[in-house]
């Protein structure tokens, strides 16, 4: 199996996001404190107005900073899950497959954790290293607590993989590529799926990923030339292919 993309991209981006997020949070809180003091102590209306604006700007910066820190955490979690997924695919698949690490879909801005391209078309992956037990109903995910109660998850992995799937389907239409099947799957690197009722997309435990790819291959094959063109069209983050390609 050939592999494209940098294996350290997620870790590097997590560091950048964490640093930038910390800077924004600190600067935002400082702006809030300074603006509050100015708005309370200013005797002139312009000073009070500027102080109020400083409070709002600081709150906005702090909010963006928190979002960056949370995004950094998601990148770190995804980086932990990517290695085992690549190892599973590499051990099972031959040279007719290409795996793209962390891909953005051109012109649509959708990002996929990974895309596997081969005889069965394109398989868009959402890689999740989730601890614990889970229930999936449609596109809704629930974490199962120790007492058996179900807690709704704020972020649905099946919804998150649906966006790059739809974007890739639109790209194939826009490029006029014939007969390229696009499927999506959530790969559970950790955690246990207790129940799946009509999930919005396939939910596959890590140890069954190779078998799932074999199952997809039993369907009607995609046009080989179209898959080759799509592989050349898509570019993973951090550009280019690994020096360890085809390992």
Q: What is the pLDDT of residues 170-228, one digit of tens each?
A: 988 888 887 889 999 999 998 899 988 888 899 999 999 999 999 998 888 888 888 88
Q: Are 25 and 63 in contact (CB under 8 A)?
A: no
Residue 46: its pLDDT value, please?
67
Residues in the chain: 247
Mean pLDDT on 39-56: 66
Confidence of residue 5 (pLDDT cuts 50, 70, 90): confident
At residue 136, does pLDDT exceed 90? yes
Query: Mean pLDDT across the stretch 42-50?
Result: 60
Q: Where are the alpha helices (DSSP H) in 116-203?
A: 157-174
49 to each of 34, 35, 59, 164, 172, how far by Cα in Å? Answer: 13, 9, 16, 44, 52
> Would you give the end-to-end CA distance of the chain in angstroms?
7
pLDDT value at position 241?
41
* % of the chain exceeding 70 in pLDDT: 90
């Amino acid at each position: 199996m050939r592999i494209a993309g940098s294996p350290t991209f997620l870790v590097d981006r997590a560091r950048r996001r964490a640093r930038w997020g910390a800077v924004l949070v600190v600067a935002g809180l400082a702006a809030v404190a300074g603006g509050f003091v100015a708005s309370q102590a200013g005797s002139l209306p312009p000073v009070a107005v500027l102080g109020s604006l400083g409070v709002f700007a600081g709150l906005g910066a702090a909010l963006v900073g928190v979002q960056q820190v949370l995004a950094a955490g998601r990148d770190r979690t995804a980086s932990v899950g990517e290695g085992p997924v690549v190892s599973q695919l590499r051990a099972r698949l031959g040279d007719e497959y290409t795996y793209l690490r962390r891909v953005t879909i051109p012109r649509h801005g959708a990002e996929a954790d990974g895309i596997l391209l081969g005889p069965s078309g394109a398989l868009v992956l959402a890689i999740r290293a989730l601890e614990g037990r889970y229930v999936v109903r449609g596109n809704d995910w629930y974490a199962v607590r120790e007492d058996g109660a179900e807690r709704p998850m704020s972020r649905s992995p099946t919804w998150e993989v649906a966006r790059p799937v739809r974007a890739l389907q639109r790209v194939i239409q826009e490029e006029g590529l014939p007969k390229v099947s696009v499927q999506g799957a959530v790969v559970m690197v950790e955690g246990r799926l207790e129940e799946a009722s009509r999930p919005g997309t396939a939910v596959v435990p890590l140890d069954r990923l190779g078998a799932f790819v074999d199952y997809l291959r039993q369907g009607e094959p995609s046009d080989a030339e179209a898959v080759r063109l799509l592989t050349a069209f898509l570019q993973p983050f951090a550009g280019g292919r690994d020096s360890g390609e085809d390992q």
